[in-house]
Amino acid sequence: MIRSADVALASGSCVAMLLALYGAFVFAPTERVMGDVQRIFYVHLPLAWIGFVAFGHACWAGIQYLRIG
Question: Mean pLDDT across the chain, nearest whole number?
Answer: 90
Instruction: Please report, for the chain, the start and end positions of each structural domain, with discontinuous segments joined by +.
Output: 4-68
Q: How confident is the model at residue 43 (pLDDT cuts 50, 70, 90)?
A: confident
Q: What is the pTM of this model?
A: 0.62
What HEC string does the chain produce? CCCHHHHHHHHHHHHHHHHHHHHHHHHCCCECCCEHHHHHHHHHHHHHHHHHHHHHHHHHHHHHHHHHC
